[in-house]
Structure 1
Amino acid sequence: MILYLIIGLLAGLIAGFFIGKSISGNAQNDNSSILDDYKNQIREMEQKLTQLTEKSQTEIKALTEENGQLKGRIENSLKVFEEQKEELQKTKTEKDQLLTKYSQAEATLKALEQQLDEQKKQVEEINKKFQMEFENIANKILKQNTEEFVDTNRKKLDEILQPLKENIHRFEEKVEKKFIDETKQRSQLVEQLQALKTLNENLSKEASNLTEALKGSNKMQGNWGELILERILEDSGLIKDEEYFTQYTDKNQEDKQIKPDIVVKLPEDKHIIIDAKVSLIAYEKYVAAENEEEQKRYLKQHIESVKQHIKGLSEKDYFSAKNLNSPEFVLLFMPIESSFSIAIRADNELFQYAWDRKIIIVSPTTLLATLRTIASVWKHEKQTRNAIQIAEEAGKLYDKFYGFVSDLEKIEKNIDSAKKSYNDAFTKLKGRGGLISRTEKLKKMGAKANKSLPTNLLDEHTDED
């Protein structure tokens, strides 16, 4: 728009120069004043051109700074992407470590169970051995002693066996306590192993979901691309459901339903259609390739994927929608800036390939600049509309004020007329031969009256007499 204005000013300057030259050649002495007017107009045009040039330079500088900021954001996004990739690798490593710990814990649990079984067998063997020894000792003592010494020997036997019984009892208590403690530890270990298993399953599930979102699922890629597109629209300054619309539904000239991702509204009821397309799988393989041969192969696949998106979008024939006044092209948005840049650098004819199919490829940087330009146009449009409405309201206000002043003038005339009528009536009431003097004479002549006129009227009447 600014370029057209500058060209128009230059054309005006050139035309003015030739007209001035013609006038100067034909009638220099007679039309000097006209020549001065043209010169003044040329000076004004030169001033306007200088102002427009300065304004354009300021806008270019602002756009350059904004482009730098956008590059910073893109670099941050790439950094976040690499961090997420590293986090995924870290998650996989932690998963492997947890699996190793789980296997070690299972082996430890089996060893503890085997050790516990062996200890049980040892306790049972000790009990049997002690019981057999006790029975042998008792039988020997009974055989050696007579019945008269039974009680005494029994007491002595109790004295001998009591410490041993107490030791055995304490041993049994220790064994039982150890068994209970080991049972508790085993139960806790089982719970911990179960928790580790659950955590491992959750980590595996999250890692799988993340991997699928980044590489495997076309639907997830599409949703992610639409999400990035909506964020750029939010940052552009455009108003949702007023200056742009999501998931817009319409029909084309063949009466087929179409659903572009985004429809951006322009002044004068015009529209631009945007559709997000993600080419990630081949691009990710290209980035992760370990040698040049793999890079070439995956780069070729990446470019082919972009071309397939261009071809598929062109076949949808969005710009022929019945209720949209759109130019005959659609913006194909690639949300990954580096994916866009690599494809463009590798295939110089990719833009022309898209243009031939009425598609324009845009990245986050170029799309944001375009949308902010549209937002600026809308702002100027609204300011223009507001100025027109203000002028209309000012005209209506002036008309109302004029009517009000006219009514005041009528009221003033009516007041003056009423005042004149009042003065005429009061003159008839007062003065020589007026009603006051006549009625007062009647009263003096003997007319009966219960009331008297105000003294101020009588005083004025007396003074006049």
Structure 2
Amino acid sequence: MMNSEQRLSEQFENLANRIFEHSNRRVDEQNRQSLHGLLTPLREQLDGFRRQVQESFGQEARERHTLAHEIRNLQQLNAQMAQEALNLTKALKGDNKTQGNWGEVVLTRVLEASGLREGYEYQTQVSIETDNRSRMQPDVIVRLPQGKDVVIDAKMTLVAYERYFNAEDDYTREVALQEHLASVRNHIRLLGRKDYQQLPGLRSLDYVLMFIPVEPAFLLAIDRQPELISEALQNNIMLVSPTTLLVALRTIANLWRYEHQSRNAQKIAERAGRLYDKMRLFVDDMSAIGQSLDKAQESYRQAMKKLASGRGNLLAQAEAFRGLGVEVKRGINPDLVEQATAQDEQYRLEDEDNLPENDAFSPDSAETVRSREAAPPR
């Protein structure tokens, strides 16, 4: 009998220890897995958000740093382009096709210097079919943000200007000048008749840029007949030289830069919104974890009450076996046993104090006390 009670006590103690160890390990493991599952997506969102913000503002800082250097090079570039164009004009001997090709070469160099990218912000030699089944081919179509286009024409001939530049007397020079002005005016009329703005699929602005590839030829025409500008505007045409065109294209490049930055800012705002939503879910999950931990803590307190602090607790009952002579190999923690026994004794005394005075030592009262002591712990 004593050996059975001893084995029962040892089995009960081992079972209680295993239950508490298993419960603690399971709660810890579940908490670690829950926190890892919540924190990993949040950390990835934060890392991506930080990288995108750094890239956006880092690119903007680099562009501001290089802007001053580009402006300093602008004057040298324009002077070099004008000189090369002038040298070639002097060498031309009236071949209009060669001059037209040269204008396209100068235009290409201006486009390259503007910061725009071919195939993205502009296209060259695009063939467009008109409503009457014929085909037209603008030299360059520059794309603008918000779906607009600008057409650039570079077919201006400079035969008369070449004669003006090489004239040996004032009369010949004046005749060549008038021919040059007439050539500019004639090209304005011809370009206006093409009506690029009405081409199918072309979302052009209300005007076309007429490119004069030699800066001095442009300045000479405007200086001698300023009304050419108003005549061109009446035909929905703007006269441009390498310098003025480069300024216009740089402005368009800046518009595209701001457009890209605006799109990046919109992406950042969208990611910030997703991050906020993820943070809200994280807070909700953490609140749920806190509630679960509170419930687990309450269950732990109830279990410890049944084990060591409640009325008729298990440790007090197990220790009572030792008082009856049950031998054990190793006793339970003395401090815990003492606390459990004291708690149980306090409840027993309270029960005795609550009995009616006449029945304090009656057999029925003693039986009532023994029944309460033997009852399962609460």
TM-score computed with the length of structure 2 as normaliser: 0.63
Amino acid at match of 2:170: E
Structure with higher helix content: 1
Give the deviation of 1:74 after TM superposition. 4.4
Report the counterpart of residue 436 of structure 1 in structure 2: 315
Q: For 1:260, which of 126, 138, 150 is the aligned residue?
A: 138
Q: For 1:399, which of 269, 272, 277 is the aligned residue?
A: 277
Q: For 2:165, which of 287, 291, 297 is the aligned residue?
A: 287
Give the deviation of 1:367 after TM superposition. 1.1
Report the counterpart of residue 320 of structure 1 in structure 2: 198
Distance in 2 (alpha carbons) for counterparts of 1:252 and 1:329: 18
Matched, 1:388 2:269: no
Q: More displaced, 416-425 or 336-345? A: 336-345
Matched, 1:311 2:171: no
Q: For 2:289, which of 408, 411, 415 is the aligned residue?
A: 411
Give the deviation of 1:243 after TM superposition. 2.0
Report the counterpart of residue 338 of structure 1 in structure 2: 216
Distance in 2 (alpha carbons) for counterparts of 1:69 and 1:346: 30
| 2:93 alignment partner, SS class | helix
Report the counterpart of residue 228 of structure 2 in structure 1: 350
The answer to whether the 8 Å contact 1:275/1:332 transfers is yes
1:21-59 C-alpha deviation (Å, 9 max, x unpaired): xxxxxxxxxxxxxxxxxxxxxxxxxxxxxxxxxxxxxxx
Q: 1:395 to 1:358 in 2, by over 3 A?
A: same
Report the counterpart of residue 223 of structure 1 in structure 2: 101
Alignment of 1:164-179 (within 5 A): none
Distance in 1 (alpha carbons) for counterparts of 2:135 and 2:199: 9
Amino acid at match of 1:435: L
Q: 1:80 to 1:232 in 2, by over 3 A?
A: closer
Give the deviation of 1:294 after TM superposition. 1.4
Distance in 2 (alpha carbons) for counterparts of 1:84 and 1:277: 16
Give the deviation of 1:389 after TM superposition. 3.0
RMSD (Å), alpha carbons? 3.3
Give the deviation of 1:265 after TM superposition. 1.6
The answer to whether the 8 Å contact 1:252/1:318 transfers is no
1:403-426 C-alpha deviation (Å, 9 max, x unpaired): 211211111111011101110111
Distance in 2 (alpha carbons) for counterparts of 1:78 and 1:330: 22
Amino acid at match of 2:206: E
Q: 1:230 to 1:81 in 2, by over 3 A?
A: closer
| 1:263 alignment partner, SS class | strand
Give the deviation of 1:362 after TM superposition. 0.8
Report the counterpart of residue 358 of structure 2 in structure 1: none
Give the deviation of 1:382 after TM superposition. 3.1
Amino acid at match of 2:229: F
1:100-134 C-alpha deviation (Å, 9 max, x unpaired): xxxxxxxxxxxxxxxxxxxxxxxxxxxxxxxxxxx
| 1:436 alignment partner, SS class | helix
Give the deviation of 1:83 after TM superposition. 6.4
The answer to whether the 8 Å contact 1:245/1:262 transfers is yes
Give the deviation of 1:259 after TM superposition. 2.1
Give the deviation of 1:82 after TM superposition. 6.5
| 1:400 alignment partner, SS class | helix
Alignment of 1:73-92 (within 5 A): 73-80=77-84
Give the deviation of 1:453 after TM superposition. 6.6
Alignment of 1:122-133 (within 5 A): none
Aligned length: 275
Distance in 2 (alpha carbons) for counterparts of 1:262 and 1:414: 68
Give the number of the structure whose alpha-carbon radius of gyration is greater: 1
Q: 1:444 to 1:271 in 2, by over 3 A?
A: same
Give the deviation of 1:434 after TM superposition. 1.1
Give the deviation of 1:427 after TM superposition. 0.2
Q: 1:314 to 1:323 in 2, by over 3 A?
A: same
Report the counterpart of residue 247 of structure 1 in structure 2: 125
Amino acid at match of 1:436: L
Distance in 2 (alpha carbons) for counterparts of 1:71 and 1:289: 29
Higher normalized contact order (CA 8 Å, seq sep 6+, divided by chain length):
2
Distance in 2 (alpha carbons) for counterparts of 1:447 and 1:244: 98
Matched, 1:297 2:175: yes
| 1:221 alignment partner, SS class | helix
Distance in 2 (alpha carbons) for counterparts of 1:350 and 1:84: 25
Give the deviation of 1:333 after TM superposition. 0.6
Q: 1:287 to 1:83 in 2, by over 3 A?
A: closer
TM-score computed with the length of structure 1 as normaliser: 0.52
Give the deviation of 1:256 after TM superposition. 3.6
Give the deviation of 1:283 after TM superposition. 1.2
Report the counterpart of residue 340 of structure 2 in structure 1: 461
Query: Where do 5+ consecutive residues of structure 2 fail to align?
Result: 1-66, 346-378
Q: 1:355 to 1:385 in 2, by over 3 A?
A: same
1:150-203 C-alpha deviation (Å, 9 max, x unpaired): xxxxxxxxxxxxxxxxxxxxxxxxxxxxxxxxxxxxxxxxxxxxxxxxxxxxxx
Query: Where do 5+ consecutive residues of structure 1 fail to align?
Result: 1-61, 87-210
Distance in 2 (alpha carbons) for counterparts of 1:385 and 1:423: 56
